[in-house]
Structures are given as C-alpha cells and as structure tokens.
Amino acid sequence: MLLKRGIIALVIVLVAFVTQTSSSEINRGSFPKGFVFGTASSSYQYEGAVKEDGRGPTIWDTFAHTFGKIIDFSNADVTVDQYHLYNEDIQLMKDLGMDAYRFSIAWSRIFPNGSGEISQAGVDHYNNLINALLAKGIEPYVTIYHWDLPQALHDKYGGWLNPLITKDFATYVETCFEKFGDRVKHWITFNEPHTTVIQGYDVGLEAPGRCSVPLFPFCRAGNSATEPYIVAHNILLSHAVAVDIYRKKYKAKQHGSVGVAFDVIWYEPATNSTEDIEATQRAQDFQLGWFIEPLTFGDYPSSMKSRVGSRLPAFSKPQSALLKGSLDFVGINHYTTFYGYDNKSNIIGVLLNDSLADAGALTMPFRNGKPIGDRASSIWLYIVPHGIRNLMNYIKQKYGNPLVIITENGMDDPNNPLTPIEDALKDEKRIKYHNAYLSNVLAAIEEDGCNVKGYFVWSLLDNWEWAAGYTSRFGLYFVDYNDKLKRYPKDSVKWFKKFLTST
C-alpha cells in the first residue's frame, strides 16, 4: 500500500496532459466489457497468525517489534486475522459484486527459512484460499512478493543486497507456479519495488530499516547512496528470471500472465519553466522509469545513468535481453499527485547524500503555500482525480500503450478512537474519491485510448498500514479492533454495490 511513502521528500514527476474530468454518474456498464473490478490486500497487513503452521519470521516482524519504528507502537501479529477469517471476507467480496481479489503469498509460509524445505501447511492454506475464491466466482490476482522477506535470508546474506537472492527467489516463485498456477492466471512478481528500495534502504522508514542519511538519527546501518540501486538491480533481475521460468515451463499449459505493481505518484511541473518541466521528468525517471524502463527497453533511463554514474549497476547484454519485454501487463498503484520543482541549490541533496537527491528534483503537494487538492488522512495523500488520467496517458505515450491494471487506488480516514462506529461508517469522501478517479480512468480509456483493463480498490478492510500501524483506515469495511475484529460496511460499500450491479 502507499502509506509506505510517509515521507514527502520522495521523487517523481511529469507534465500533465489533460484537465480534470467531471465526475458524472458512472457504473460498471460504463466500462468496456471484461473490465475487472476488485479489491487489494497483502499477506502481512491482513493475515496475522504470524507464528502458526510453521510460518517463519520476516524482516517486517523484526521491524514492527523494534521500539519506535511504528507510529502507534503496534504490530501485525493479528491485524485483521484473514488467515482464519478468509471465508467470511470472501463472502463480503461476493456481496460487493467484485470480480477479483488481489492478495499476496507470504514467502515464509511456503519456505519458513526462505529456502530449503517447503511447508505443506503454507501450501495448503493458499490452496484453500484460492479454491474458496474461485468457488464464489472471484478471480485470484496473486502478488508473489509484497515486502515480507524471510528474515533468515536477510540474516544469511543480506537479502536483496546480495545477488544470491535471485536464485532463492526463483525457487520460491517456481514453487508458486507449480502449486497454484493451474488456477492462478494473474501473477504480480513484486509490489512497489520503488517503495522497497527508498523506504527500506534509503531513508530507513520501513523494513529492514537501512540508511545512512546524516539527518536521520535512527540510521544505524546501510549506505543510502548505493544500497537502493543495488537492491533495485537485484529485484529487476529476479523478476526477469521469474518471467523467463514462467514463459519457458508454465505459460503454454497454464496460460497466465506476469506483471509488476509499480507505485506511481503523478508529478506535475510546479511552473511552466523549462527547469521545472525537466526536473519533473527526472523525478518520474527516478520513480517509475527506474523500474519500468529496464523491463521495457532493457536498461535504466538515461537521466539515471548520467546522474548516478558508477553507483548505478550495469546490466550485461544477456541480462538486458532477459529484462527487455518481460512485462505481460503493467500494474499501477496510484493514489495522489504532487508538484515537481527543480532543485536549483541542491542543498537538500548535500544534506541527504542519498538516491533521493540524485534526481535533482523536489516533489511536494504544495505550490505557493496552497495544497494541490483536498487531503485524506495520510500526510502524503491529496485527492487529485485528474492525475490518474494524466498518468495513464503518460504510460500510453512513453511505453507503447501496454495493458495496464490499476492494482491499487484508494484513500484513508483517520482512526479516531473517539469517533462512534456509526459515524466512522459515513465515508462520503471515499465515495467521491472513487467516483472521481474512476471517471478519469474511464475518460482515459474512452477518450484517450489508454489500454486499462482493471481497477483494484485499496482496500476491502481497514488493516495494519505498515509504519502507520492502525492510525489509518483505508477499508470499504470498518474493522472493530476492540470487538473481535467485526467487519461493518461503510457507506462506500453501498455505493460500490450499486455501482457494480448497475449496467
């Protein structure tokens, strides 16, 4: 999910193509036949049961249990307990009228130590979950890696910092194809690799919490100027190897597709100056381009190669060939839009000495002291519906109009313990958010010819939101953490039911 980027100094940008689309009355019937509607989740945020059925510890278990890392001092040991309550939650999806469910497999449930012996209990759980979804007519979209690296691999050789990870990931991913691929036809190898490298290895705000930025006193290990690029490189090569395995051994029989879910804030130049426009493009290069360009063209963006220099690992010719064209579809996790500014003085860059500074751009949701849109609960999430249409057009024009699935989109309300449940269920802002964003997705399809085929809401349920803990509620269903995790439909559930049943 996007709560991961709880720091405003990220990096991402670009030129806006279209103006805001009006949010007229739309419904499922407004969209092309076969367009997929679903909800999204991740194993660590939903499952709980962290010590059951042989599951091994992950870097997020370690991080969440380290004092001061989570805003409300909580952890995800139980969260919404979907490990036990998945049948109940699948019925909620069915009642909503959703077509699909995006969830992730926990690597340490399949391989408790990251490699070695397979846990049959873990395999059985996901078989049961997949079968239960299909029995209700809900298509599984499976994320293979959603941040929860087995702690054993991090301890053994540094996890994503070491090229050895590619071999262990290949074994894990092929096990998933073998065990579940007869029923799973939509695979996402990685969720938000950009967030993984920035939050985990640059600013240290997420697991495994590595960084070397002088301004951050909690940095105890890492190198923010080099490790993000090393980790990104190993993730990209791991994806390419996984896709190669699937295409050579499984695709002909299983007929599935494999993509990546990229986190993308849309960037608009703060002014029409050449400096801000170019800075905004660089910011987007260092966000989406960093990962999608090797998988599309076989190499990193030229702006990254020139600005990062020798700190940016190089692909060999065989690696480049393996990477190029290894996306069957492009997953996009999009929530908000920022302004892009040229970082003229680079004072922040000197102070940070990290990958965030390399773009020579500043991105923030303010211009002349005014916010870019109405804010949700999270400090980074501003509601700018036209941003998603601009982003779809950017992907169409720059990357040849690939098949795109919106793998996450949503907004949060604060978790105020003093708010009565009946009031917390009145989420009119969420209804307006989805209506407006979906209207812009529809315009991108019908008016602009963008190849968008699906939309997944984050999220079905309120849940544990990484470093923000339980302070934020993204769900269509309210979860009462104080009363046996009971689920209550918010007004947005009623809206989606009507939306999905109207044609």
Task: Please list, in sequence order, all residues whose beta carbon lies within 8 angstroms of the beta carbon of residue 143, skipping any fewer than 6 positions away.
Answer: 42, 102, 103, 104, 105, 188, 189, 190, 191, 261
Helical (H) or strand (E) element with 352? helix 347-352
The beta-strand segments (E) located in 334-470 are 337-342, 361-364, 366-367, 370-371, 374-375, 382-383, 404-409, 413-414, 452-457
Strands 361-364 and 337-342: antiparallel
SS3 content of the chain, % helix, strand, coil (to 5): 45, 15, 40
- Is 136:101 a contact under the CB 8 Å cutoff? no
Of 192, 227, 293, 465, the catalytic one is 192
Tokens of residue 154, six digits:
């991090």
Whether 192 is catalytic = yes
Query: Which residue has 């590619």 as its token pair?
Result: 166
Distance, in Å, from the CA atom of 58 to the CA atom of 52, rounded to the nearest integer, reads: 13
Strands 366-367 and 370-371: antiparallel
Helix/strand/coil for 41: coil
Query: Which residue has 């509601």 as its token pair?
Result: 383
- Is 327:260 a contact under the CB 8 Å cutoff? yes
Of 139, 206, 227, 408, the catalytic one is 408
Distance, in Å, from the CA atom of 109 to the CA atom of 193, rounded to the nearest integer, reads: 21
Q: Which residues are catalytic?
A: 192, 408
